[in-house]
């Protein structure tokens, strides 16, 4: 089974902790040990936000700010690469072809952002489509997709399952707000819908939860299930 894991910067490195990054690297290696082909897209987290805010105050334009954000995602990707003992591309892949080639060599492919105007949510969905992944897993610091922002609305309800089309419908109005509270960005939702890829959005703060979600499909977040898609065989047969 081929899986693309989107690992938020706030999940991998909420602060610079070697122990936390090592724990995530070990969880990823356990997926590879179980025979999964794994690509990782690393986000920028608070460090990217801090750089972007500062550069905006300095008068940088939005493309320059996105480029700063991309650099930070690649710095975080380098931290993960440093922690992985398994074979991986030695520097973050800068395009989908390089990530695809790493997977074809049997390596864990690691990348950050690629181009201005999006976030790593969309990079993960694009990479999943590019390499024909069976699953795109979003390990975030919130525990799934809600019908409203759970930080603002105490009555917000979490979806257990939803279709890609329902995800798009939900994210469209959320994406109009500045500082969007959308669980994944709109482009990512549309790419997931277009590609018909199965997805999971879950709290990946604890690396063990990442392993459980991907190896066995066990998590407390939201499954995004395209019409007519079957549960991956590995989830049915593995203990």
Q: Which is nearer to ligand UTP, 59 or 117 (CB)?
A: 117
Q: Which is nearer to ligand UTP, 83 or 182 (CB)?
A: 182
Query: Residue 236: CB partners within 8 Å, gap ≥ 6?
Result: none
Q: Which is nearer to ligand UTP, 65 or 83 (CB)?
A: 65
Closest-by-Cβ residue to ligand UTP is: 69
Tokens of 21: 């990054």
Shortest Å, Cβ 71 to ligand UTP: 8
Shortest Å, Cβ 34 to ligand UTP: 26
Angle at 81 between CA 39 and CA 84, to 5 degrees: 85
Q: Which is nearer to ligand UTP, 65 or 103 (CB)?
A: 65
> Nearest 10 degrees: CA dihedral of 169, 175, 180, 185?
70
Shortest Å, Cβ 215 to ligand UTP: 23
3-state secondary structure of 98: helix
Tokens of 111: 């990348």
Shortest Å, Cβ 44 to ligand UTP: 3
Beta strands 2-7 and 161-162 are unpaired
In the complex, which residues of this chain contact ligand UTP (CB under 6 A)? 8-10, 43-45, 48, 52, 65-66, 69-70, 73, 113-120, 123
């Amino acid at each position: 089974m081929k899986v693309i894991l989107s690992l938020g910067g706030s999940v991998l490195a909420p602060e610079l902790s070697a122990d936390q990054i090592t724990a995530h690297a070990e969880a990823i290696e356990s997926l590879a040990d179980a025979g999964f082909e794994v690509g990782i897209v690393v986000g920028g987290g608070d460090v990217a936000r801090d750089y972007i805010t500062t550069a905006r105050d300095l008068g940088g334009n939005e493309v320059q700010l996105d480029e700063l954000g991309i650099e930070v995602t690649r710095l975080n990707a380098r931290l993960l690469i440093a922690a992985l003992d398994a074979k991986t591309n030695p520097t973050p892949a800068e395009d989908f072809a390089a990530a695809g080639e790493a997977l074809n060599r049997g390596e864990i492919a690691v990348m950050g952002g690629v181009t201005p105007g999006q976030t790593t949510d969309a990079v993960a969905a694009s990479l999943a489509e590019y390499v024909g992944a069976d699953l795109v897993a979003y390990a975030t610091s919130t525990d799934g997709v809600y019908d409203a922002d759970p930080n603002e609305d105490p009555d917000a309800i979490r979806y257990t399952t939803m279709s890609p089309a329902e995800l798009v419908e939900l994210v469209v109005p959320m994406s109009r707000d500045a500082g969007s509270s959308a669980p994944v960005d709109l482009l990512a939702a549309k790419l997931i819908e277009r590609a018909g890829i199965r997805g999971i959005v879950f709290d990946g703060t604890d690396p063990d939860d990442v392993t459980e979600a991907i190896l066995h499909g066990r998590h407390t977040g939201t499954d995004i299930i395209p019409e007519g898609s079957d549960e991956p065989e590995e989830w049915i047969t593995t203990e």
